Amino acid sequence: DKIRIALAETPSDELAAFFVALDRAKANGLDYEWTAFSDEELAIQAVLSGQMDIGFGTPYSAMQRSKAPLRIIFQLSKLKFFPVTNKKYSKLEDLAGEPILLHSRGGGTDSIANVIEDKMGFKFGKRSYVPGSSNRVVALIAGQADATIIDLSNKNKVVRQQGDKFNVLPMFDVEASDEALFANLDWIQSNEEDVQIFVNALLSTWQDMNEDPTIISKETNPDGPIGQLPKEILDELDGFYTDAIAGGLYDANGGGRKGAQADMEWYSQAGQLEGDPASLNVEDFWYMAPLDAAMAK
């Protein structure tokens, strides 16, 4: 049977690498179909209710709360987000008590804000939420917000186009996952073979991409969902992946134990995992076997 993949957003430049990996997996005999959901929570919900097999996202709180045995099998990208502000602010401490624009309550940027508060020992002012980094950039440029946290590619755009008007505040490094692939443990175990092909393809793509970011645009199937994007977007593919690799967005090892450990710490600190990070069992959240096997090859 086909495996059913739940994407957390519509196919765009950020998913090009993933689709390249899918093509590689297909060449090795993986049969799949994908559905794009409007947000991560829906993808999680879809996997939870068994309507999808593999989902996109970091479902740590769902893992702890729901009775379903969800496990992560591969880290797709890291939480590389950047506080961008107008010239009023020049370092993180300046944001104490100031309002900030984030993606969504309980989402990745929210967790970054929590950790910043934690590490710096201050509180932000009112948090408001606008989903989509590009929408937050618009809000920033239109002067409707003074500070926000946005993703790598949008940060680069702002720096390139309006670098004189906005500051990117220096911030500590984050190794935790932004997007990961997860599935129901029972399903993983009964589809061991498919999962292995998939993880192999992902790992090889991620490794090749770290060597040469332009393979993504080269390998992109012109008739696939990415190849069909408007030319304006495709033209920027190489730039996007070059920046992303330089910025460390994609881990060549698919996260693995190191990434899992980083997640435990990060999400506990961010308040999305309950309990002491040391006492949390990584095996309850990650299923390492396919990744280990792929690494061994």
Tokens 């010239």 — which residue? 87
Measured from the CB atom, is 148 or 167 closer to another protein?
A: 148
Q: What angle do CA 2, 226, 4 make, to 5 degrees?
A: 15
As a residue count, the chain comes to 297
Note whether 293 and 188 are within 8 A (CB).
no
Measured from the CB atom, is 10 or 214 closer to another protein?
A: 10
Measured from the CB atom, is 99 or 277 closer to another protein?
A: 99
- By CB under 8 A, tell whether 289 contacts another protein: no
Judged by CB under 8 A, the stretch of 19-27, 141-149, 213-221, 255-263 that binds another protein is: 141-149
- By CB under 8 A, tell whether 185 contacts another protein: no
- By CB under 8 A, tell whether 296 contacts another protein: no
Note whether 105 and 79 are within 8 A (CB).
no
Q: What angle do CA 165, 136, 252 make, to 5 degrees?
A: 95
**Window 248-287: residues binding another protein (CB under 8 A):** none
Residue in 96, 138, 246, 252 binding another protein, rule: CB under 8 A: 138
Residue in 18, 19, 37, 81 binding another protein, rule: CB under 8 A: 37
Note whether 167 and 85 are within 8 A (CB).
yes
State how far the Cα of 100 lies from the Cα of 146, in Å rounded to an integer. Answer: 7
Note whether 54 and 47 are within 8 A (CB).
yes
- By CB under 8 A, tell whether 35 contacts another protein: yes
State how far the Cα of 64 lies from the Cα of 284, in Å rounded to an integer. Answer: 9
Judged by CB under 8 A, the stretch of 76-84, 117-125, 223-231, 262-270 that binds another protein is: 223-231
Residue in 23, 26, 61, 265 binding another protein, rule: CB under 8 A: 61
CB 13 to another protein: min, Å: 8
> Which one, of 69, 68, 38, lies nearest residue 56 by Cα?
38
Residue in 228, 235, 275, 283 binding another protein, rule: CB under 8 A: 228
CB 48 to another protein: min, Å: 4
β-pairing verdict for 127-129 and 100-102: parallel
State how far the Cα of 69 lies from the Cα of 73, in Å rounded to an integer. Answer: 13
Chain residues that interact with another protein, rule: CB under 8 A = 6, 9-12, 35-42, 44-46, 48-52, 59, 61-62, 65-68, 101, 104-107, 128-132, 134-135, 138-139, 142, 144-145, 223, 225, 228-230, 232-233
